[in-house]
Amino acid sequence: MTSTIPAVDNRPADGSALQAVLLDMDGTLVDTEGFWWDAEVEVFAEMGHYIDEAHREVVVGGPMTRSLGHLISVTGTNATLAELSALINRRFTELIHRGVPLMPGARRLLTELGAHGVPTALVSASHRHIIDSVLRSLGPENFALSIAGDEVARTKPHPEPYLVAAARLGADPARCVVIEDTPTGVTAAEAAGCRVVAVPSIAPIESAPGRSVVRSLEHIDLTFLRSLITAVH
């Protein structure tokens, strides 16, 4: 499915080389990775399958098809991917219904980007109904647009979500900074040609050319983001 969000052209008018900031959602801006894990563990437990904590790092950050494919393989469940996906999405929605906690520094960063007119997009592998629910906690006014996993033909780790977001913002991917928390998301962003700031949540992420790794969003501000683009242009 292709996103129907219309293209906008609101690149910074201040001459900054940074044209947009594209942000992942789960585990990056909001502390929901634990909610997904809890939903998966609970659903499989109800089917009589115990999932060891060791599998958490394997399934974090990826599309549900990959995560559930792995869990189906290790548990041997007879449930189908479609059945499990529906059950886990429903359980996750129940868990986040009352709101989700923001990651440290998320509110401050979004406020700073908005105050300086930097175009932002929320780019997630989660489905649209999940994003819309989480946006109630994040504030939809903080984003020019959002891209959901069920609105693109190929979700992360494919670069399509980030390429679509950049195109909708009228931005050059090479002049966009992506903020991600998982290797899957980093792979997608780098394949799209974006500069990446990784804030690892569960799985470790190593530094690499064109990639910065920080401990928390509290270490990221607009000056830092602009410096990443200025350094290569």
| Residues catalogued as catalytic | 24, 26
**Cβ-contact 152, 127 below 8 angstroms:** no
The angle formed by the CA atoms of residues 166, 172 and 178, to the nearest 5 degrees, is 55
CA-CA distance, 23 to 20, in Å (whole number)? 10
CA-CA distance, 78 to 99, in Å (whole number)? 33
CA-CA distance, 151 to 18, in Å (whole number)? 26
Please report, as a single letter, which amino acid is at residue 27. G
Nearest to 197, CA basis, from 188, 222, 168, 207: 207
Burial (0-12, 13-18, 19+ Cβ within 10 Å), 48: exposed
Give backbone dihedrals phi and psi of 198, rounded to 5 degrees, phi first.
Answer: -100, 135
- For the record, the structure tokens of 8 come out as 């906008």
User: How far apart are the two ends of the chain, measured CA to CA in Å?
Assistant: 34
